[in-house]
Chains A and B, each alone.
Chain A
Amino acid sequence: MQVCTLFFATYRDALGTGTLDVDLPEGATVGELVRRLRSRGTPFDRLPEVPAVAINRSMVRGDAPLAHGDEIAFLPPVAGG
Chain B
Amino acid sequence: MSRPVSDHGASGYRTSIAQAPIDPAAVLALVGDPADGAVLLFLGTVRDNADGRHVGGLRYEAYQEMAEDELNRITEEAVRRLGTDRVAVVHRVGDVSVGEVSVAIAVSSPHRAEAYQASRFIIEEIKKRLPVWKHERYEDGEAVWVQGQALEPTEGAR
Query: How far, in angstroms, from A6 to B63 measured CA to CA in the complex?
Result: 9
CB-CB contacts of A39-67 with B at 8 A, as 1s and 0s? Answer: 00000000000001011011111001100
Q: Of all chain B residues, which has the CB nearest A78?
A: B148
Q: Check if A58 sits within 8 Å of B127, measured CB to CB.
A: no
Query: How far, in angstroms, from A57 to B44 measured CA to CA in the complex?
Result: 25
Q: Of all chain B residues, which has the CB nearest A79?
A: B148
Chain A proximity of B24: nearest CB distance (Å)? 16
A75 within 8 A of B: yes
Interface size class of B (residues with CB under 8 A): 35 or more
Within 8 Å CB of B135, what residues of A? 9
B8 within 8 A of A: no
Q: Chain B's interface: helix, strand, loop or mixed, by majority? A: mixed
Q: Of all chain A residues, which has the CB nearest B150?
A: A77
Within 8 Å CB of A73, what residues of B? 63, 66, 131
Q: Check if B147 sits within 8 Å of A77, measured CB to CB.
A: yes
Q: Check if B130 sits within 8 Å of A58, measured CB to CB.
A: no
Contact check: which of B65, B102, B132 meets A78 at CB < 8 Å? B132
Contact surface of A with B, Cβ cutoff 8 Å: 6, 8-10, 13, 52, 54-55, 57-61, 64-65, 73, 75-81
Q: Of all chain A residues, which has the CB nearest B125?
A: A81
Given A8-B63, A81-B123, also A54-B131 (CB < 8 A)? yes
Q: Check if B151 sits within 8 Å of A59, measured CB to CB.
A: yes
Chain B proximity of A77: nearest CB distance (Å)? 4
Q: Check if B157 sits within 8 Å of A80, measured CB to CB.
A: no
Within 8 Å CB of A8, what residues of B? 61, 63, 131, 133
Contact check: which of A6, A54, A61, A79 meets B132 at CB < 8 Å? A79
Q: Check if B66 sits within 8 Å of A80, measured CB to CB.
A: no
Within 8 Å CB of A10, what residues of B? 133, 145
Query: How far, in angstroms, from A54 to B157 measured CA to CA in the complex?
Result: 10
Q: Check if B154 sits within 8 Å of A76, measured CB to CB.
A: no
Q: Of all chain B residues, which has the CB nearest A73?
A: B63
Q: Check if A76 sits within 8 Å of B148, measured CB to CB.
A: yes
Chain A proximity of B75: nearest CB distance (Å)? 14
Which 5 pairs across A and B sit closest by C-beta, in order of nearness? Answer: A80-B132, A79-B148, A77-B148, A9-B133, A52-B151
